[in-house]
Amino acid sequence: MASTRFVVMSDSHGDRGIVEDIKKHYQGKVDGIFHNGDSELPSDAPVWDGIYVVRGNCDYDAGYKDNLVTRLGNVVIAQTHGHLYHINFMWDRLDLFAQSADADICLYGHLHRADAWQNGKTVFINPGSVSQPRGPINVKLYALVTVTDDKIVVDYYTRDHQLYPELTKEFSR
């Protein structure tokens, strides 16, 4: 069965090394690498070559896009940091963004909390923060997403690329 696999990180807040390390670890082995903002790196940094990246509220470089919609195979991925959709207070606006893109998956960040949930057909994924986690799961994480014809599986990994199995979630497509 054909599958699409991609890596998602967010909120690295100046930690260039982890972005470079994740890229090095996965480049050529997955179908895409995503960063959901608040890298605090220049938008023309060489590390972004081969990474889909958006602007966070701590990125002042005008070279970043606020939103990206990327198609990998038959999977439509809508990506944004989240602050522009007021996700601290509500999900409605982020949901509208995902709906308007007809997204299978909506990637966001900003909250520094790993989370994955489904609304309608769209699976919303926050990979957590690779550098500054908040909340009860105080582990620096990123996500690896595997999409098949009928499933979307979200696995979380630690900075040393070890599976953090407690957070794995599986959704129907």
The contact set with Mn ion (CB under 5 A) reads 11, 38
Q: Which residue, 72 or 125, has its beta carbon nearer to Mn ion? A: 125
Contact in structure between 163 and 144 (CB atoms under 8 Å): no
CB of 62 to Mn ion, least distance (A): 18
Q: Which is nearer to Mn ion, 130 or 147 (CB)?
A: 130
Min dist. Cβ of residue 58 to Mn ion (A):
6
Shortest distance in whole angstroms from residue 139 CB to Mn ion: 16
Q: State the nearest-atom distance from the C-beta of 56 to Mn ion, in Å.
A: 6
- Whether residue 145 contacts residue 161, with contact meaning beta carbons closer than 8 Å, is answered with no
Nearest distance from residue 10's CB to Mn ion, in Å?
7
Q: Which residue has the tokens 């500054």?
A: 132
* CB-nearer residue toward Mn ion: 93 or 133: 133
> Closest residue (Cβ) to Mn ion?
38
Nearer to Mn ion, 32 or 82 (CB): 82
Cβ-based nearer residue to Mn ion, 38 or 115: 38
